């Protein structure tokens, strides 16, 4: 095993506090801790596994509802670890046992009646082409199983329940044995159009199960999978070779909107990092670091997530931006693992920027739901999937990001130095040393960090966006002042994607998610040209009804993008419904160009609908 550069906090030793924690608590309560969650939400997620009907009525392929239980339970296990709530700890154990009653004697536990239906062949692939579900080759049997196994493994780790761990082992054994018997490599299973990345993301929980049990069979199967991404014939995402080919990721193969499924790919990269941890195979780490950098350049959108809705199509080259919350969750996760392993603080910058912007904007302020797609203007896309009332792919994943951010608050390197990574109000204890962080960061620009031990060696992360961070010490209290550097962020107008404004193109349609009337404000405010954005510290700012921006100032096809000599002046503005609100003036060479109120991106529209005069907004200037 390779030692990470940094160790994280145990979840139970951290409390996230301050303004963001109010919404987080509401969200975790509604989605995981409440009686409603345990009965209604979990029951709906359990149904496809109980009825095994994800492949019902489909001559080939099948649905992905079977992922909902695993995603929700994965979140619940981590929230139980964080809260140590006795009732939730009891519930996750009982609910796992309830699911185990649906396990077949051979070990299969999933949502497909035809458990052997894992891949398309010539005949079934053709059937799918002729009668497509959702327009693509829908088949998620192994993906769904991955989430069930991973979630139950986490429950077993939190509750120390050996029966649950045994069930996971039998599930994994059945899967590996079945794949060997069918003689099908994992990379051709599932939706073949996305090059097997859904099924191949099994790698991470497979290795976690190896780490937990030491059973060689799991490491052997992982080692069988790795060469699928290092192929002479160049098929598949071929991460281990393509990582160093010098092309932007979306250019690896034609038609990225078809194959480059963002969070499934990032889930695979997480697996490669775990393989590095277990075996020390350096090229796995190097490939993932190179792909992360590739995405940060080619697919970063102005909400600081990667991707365009759910694909890597070179999002940096598009005038409009929309991003799937699952992608944000996994971008944060991937960045975090790279930080822990390498110790490079640039990964913390990516985490922080994605957390305060795309992620927080996607979690609704009433705590009931998350967006599926977060748009840069007008309104986010709530999305309902597979006729489910209480579950969709992102909302079930979302608690995990709060838990990742909690665990990442403080870390400690191998030499024993602590690093304060994030400055959201929090109380975190690591190795017996408690850090108390206060200051309403990043709306507030002065933070105090009280350290319980005067002997502890402590380092403070200087955010990459921050030109000046002053640290003063008075005994065990450190005062940090951040230059929040209000700024206009320009976007490159070179290499704008050719299909950016093609009304028949994938990005235009995908931005809408669902068909819309031509007069819908999402369509009316679709940008034809690149625009700049405004930032303060790590926060993207938005013109918004909630901030008090006048409706006629919300949207404009004009832009200040590329104009020289621009500065942004911000003055705090009282507001009861926004976290941060300011009167903004854009100046050119010191002369005012435009003035309007703005708020932090989260506050602009973290709720389900934005009527034309409701909570509508735009980050573009």
**Are 339 and 345 within 8 A, CB to CB?**
yes
334 or 598: CB nearest Zn ion: 334
Q: Output the CA–CA distances (angstroms, integers) from residue 591 to 489, 567, 568, in the order listed.
A: 18, 9, 11
**Are 49 and 109 within 8 A, CB to CB?**
yes
Q: Whole-number minimum distance, CB 509 to Zn ion, in Å?
A: 18
112 or 263: CB nearest Zn ion: 263
Q: Output the CA–CA distances (angstroms, integers) from residue 597 to 43, 578, 605, in the order listed.
A: 44, 11, 15
Judged by CB under 5 A, the stretch of 64-72, 126-134, 319-327, 567-575 that binds Zn ion is: 319-327
Q: Whole-number minimum distance, CB 27 to Zn ion, in Å?
A: 15
Judged by CB under 5 A, the stretch of 244-252, 390-398, 494-502, 581-589 that binds Zn ion is: 390-398
326 or 341: CB nearest Zn ion: 326
Residues 152-171 that bind Zn ion (CB under 5 A): none
176 or 332: CB nearest Zn ion: 332
Check residue 394 for interaction with Zn ion (CB under 5 A): yes
CB atoms within 10 A of CB 152: 29
326 or 410: CB nearest Zn ion: 326
242 or 391: CB nearest Zn ion: 391
Strands (E), 389-537: 410-413, 418-420, 426-430, 433-438, 446-451, 458-460, 469-474, 477-482, 487-489, 533-536
143 or 218: CB nearest Zn ion: 143
Q: Whole-number minimum distance, CB 103 to Zn ion, in Å?
A: 27
Q: Where are the alpha helices (DSSP H) in 84-119?
A: 86-100
Q: Whole-number minimum distance, CB 383 to Zn ion, in Å?
A: 8
Q: Whole-number minimum distance, CB 262 to Zn ion, in Å?
A: 10
Q: Whole-number minimum distance, CB 325 to Zn ion, in Å?
A: 6
Check residue 219 for interaction with Zn ion (CB under 5 A): no
Judged by phi (left if over 0) then psi (alpha if -120 to 50, else beta), residue 234 lies in left
Closest CA to 224 of 244, 194, 258, 200: 200
Round to whole Å and give the CA distance between 208 and 473: 41
Q: Whole-number minimum distance, CB 326 to Zn ion, in Å?
A: 3
Round to whole Å and give the CA distance between 291 and 119: 27
71 or 536: CB nearest Zn ion: 71
> How many positions of this chain bind Zn ion (CB under 5 A)?
3
**Are 6 and 340 within 8 A, CB to CB?**
yes
Q: Whole-number minimum distance, CB 469 to Zn ion, in Å?
A: 35
Q: Whole-number minimum distance, CB 394 to Zn ion, in Å?
A: 3
Judged by CB under 5 A, the stretch of 25-33, 118-126, 214-222, 389-397 that binds Zn ion is: 389-397
| Residue at token pair 């801790």 | 33
221 or 372: CB nearest Zn ion: 372
**Are 451 and 419 within 8 A, CB to CB?**
no
Residues 406-465 that bind Zn ion (CB under 5 A): none
Round to whole Å and give the CA distance between 110 and 112: 6
CB atoms within 10 A of CB 275: 23
Q: Whole-number minimum distance, CB 493 to Zn ion, in Å?
A: 31
Q: Whole-number minimum distance, CB 362 to Zn ion, in Å?
A: 10
Beta bridge partners of 599: 542, 581
Site string for Zn ion, 460-489 (x = CB under 5 A): ------------------------------
Beta bridge partners of 14: 428
Check residue 513 for interaction with Zn ion (CB under 5 A): no
Ramachandran angles phi, psi of 140, nearest 5°: -130, 25
| Residue at token pair 């992982």 | 222
229 or 372: CB nearest Zn ion: 372
Judged by CB under 5 A, the stretch of 74-82, 206-214, 217-225, 394-402 that binds Zn ion is: 394-402
Site string for Zn ion, 600-619 (x = CB under 5 A): --------------------
> What is the token pair recorded at 544?
């918004």
Helix (H) or strand (E) holding 544: strand 539-544
Round to whole Å and give the CA distance between 290 and 133: 35
Q: Whole-number minimum distance, CB 402 to Zn ion, in Å?
A: 16
| Member of 393, 408, 540, 542 binding Zn ion (CB under 5 A) | 393
β 458-460/418-420 pair status: parallel
372 or 601: CB nearest Zn ion: 372
**CB environment 427-454: b (16+ within 10 A), e (fewer):** bbbbeebebbbbbbbbbbbebebebeee
63 or 394: CB nearest Zn ion: 394
**Are 586 and 560 within 8 A, CB to CB?**
yes
Q: Whole-number minimum distance, CB 224 to Zn ion, in Å?
A: 29
219 or 394: CB nearest Zn ion: 394
Site string for Zn ion, 321-350 (x = CB under 5 A): -----x------------------------
**Are 317 and 500 within 8 A, CB to CB?**
yes
**Are 422 and 18 within 8 A, CB to CB?**
no
Round to whole Å and give the CA distance between 154 and 72: 12
Q: Whole-number minimum distance, CB 204 to Zn ion, in Å?
A: 17
Cα 582 from chain centroid? 28
Ramachandran angles phi, psi of 370, nearest 5°: -125, 160
Half-sphere exposure of 335 (CA within 13 A, CB side): 28
Judged by CB under 5 A, the stretch of 124-132, 150-158, 284-292, 386-394 that binds Zn ion is: 386-394
| Residue at token pair 């699911």 | 99
> What is the token pair recorded at 194?
């996305």
300 or 394: CB nearest Zn ion: 394
Q: Whole-number minimum distance, CB 500 to Zn ion, in Å?
A: 24
394 or 407: CB nearest Zn ion: 394
Report the interface residues with Zn ion, using CB under 5 A. Answer: 326, 393-394
């Amino acid at each position: 095993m390779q030692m990470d550069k940094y160790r994280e906090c145990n979840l139970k030793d951290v409390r996230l506090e301050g303004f963001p924690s109010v919404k987080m608590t509401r969200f975790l309560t509604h989605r995981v801790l409440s009686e409603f969650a345990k009965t209604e939400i979990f029951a709906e997620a359990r149904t496809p596994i109980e009825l095994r009907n994800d492949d019902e009525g489909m001559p080939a392929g099948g649905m992905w509802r079977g992922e909902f239980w695993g995603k929700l339970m994965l979140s619940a296990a981590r929230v139980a670890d964080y809260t140590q709530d006795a009732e939730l700890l009891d519930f996750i154990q009982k609910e796992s046992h309830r699911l185990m009653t649906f396990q077949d004697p051979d070990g299969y536990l999933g949502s497909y009646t035809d458990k052997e239906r894992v891949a398309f062949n010539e005949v079934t692939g053709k059937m799918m082409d002729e009668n497509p579900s959702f327009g693509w080759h829908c088949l998620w049997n192994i993906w769904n199983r991955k989430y069930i196994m991973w979630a139950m493994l986490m429950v077993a780790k939190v509750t120390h329940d050996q029966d649950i761990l045994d069930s996971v082992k039998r599930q994994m054994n059945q899967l590996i044995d079945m794949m060997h018997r069918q003689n099908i490599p994992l990379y051709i299973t599932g939706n073949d159009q996305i090059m097997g990345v859904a099924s191949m993301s099994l790698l991470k929980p497979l290795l976690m199960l190896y780490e937990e049990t030491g059973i060689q069979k799991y490491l052997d199967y992982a080692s069988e999978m790795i060469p699928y991404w290092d192929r002479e014939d160049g098929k598949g995402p071929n991460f281990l070779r393509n990582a160093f080919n010098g092309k932007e990721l979306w250019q690896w193969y034609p038609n990225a909107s078809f194959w480059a499924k963002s969070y499934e790919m990032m889930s695979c990269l997480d697996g490669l990092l775990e393989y590095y941890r277990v075996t020390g195979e350096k090229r796995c780490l190097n490939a993932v670091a190179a792909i992360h950098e590739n995405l940060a350049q080619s697919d970063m959108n102005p909400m600081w997530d990667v991707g365009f809705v759910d694909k890597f199509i070179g999002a940096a080259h598009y005038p409009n931006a929309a991003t799937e919350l699952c992608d944000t969750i996994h971008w944060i996760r991937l960045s975090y693992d790279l930080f822990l392993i390498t110790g490079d603080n640039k990964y913390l910058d990516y985490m922080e920027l994605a957390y305060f912007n795309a992620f927080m904007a996607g979690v609704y302020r009433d705590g009931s739901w998350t967006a599926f797609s977060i748009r840069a203007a007008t309104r986010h896309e709530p999305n309902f999937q597979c006729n489910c009332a209480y579950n969709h792919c992102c909302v079930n994943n979302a608690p995990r990001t709060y838990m990742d951010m909690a665990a990442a608050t403080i870390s400690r390197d191998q030499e024993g130095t602590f690093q304060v990574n994030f400055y959201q109000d929090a109380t975190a204890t690591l190795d017996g040393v408690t850090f108390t962080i206060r200051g309403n960061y990043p709306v507030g620009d002065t933070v105090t960090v009280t350290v319980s031990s005067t002997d502890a060696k402590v380092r403070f992360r200087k955010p990459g966006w921050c030109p000046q961070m002053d640290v003063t010490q008075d005994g065990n209290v450190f005062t940090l002042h951040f230059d929040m550097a209000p700024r206009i962020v320009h976007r490159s107008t070179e290499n704008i994607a050719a299909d950016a404004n093609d009304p028949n193109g994938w990005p235009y349609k995908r931005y809408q998610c669902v068909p819309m009337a031509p007069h819908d404000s999402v369509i009316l405010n679709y940008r034809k040209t690149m625009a700049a954005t405004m930032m303060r510290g790590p926060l993207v700012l938005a013109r918004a009804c909630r901030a008090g921006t006048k409706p006629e100032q919300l949207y404009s096809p004009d832009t200040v993008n590329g104009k020289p000599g621009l500065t942004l002046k911000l003055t705090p503005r009282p507001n009861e419904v926004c976290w941060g609100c300011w009167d903004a003036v854009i100046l050119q060479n010191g002369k005012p160009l435009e003035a309007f109120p703005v708020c932090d991106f989260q506050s602009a529209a973290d709720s389900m609908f934005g009527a034309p005069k409701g909570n509508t907004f735009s980050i573009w200037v």
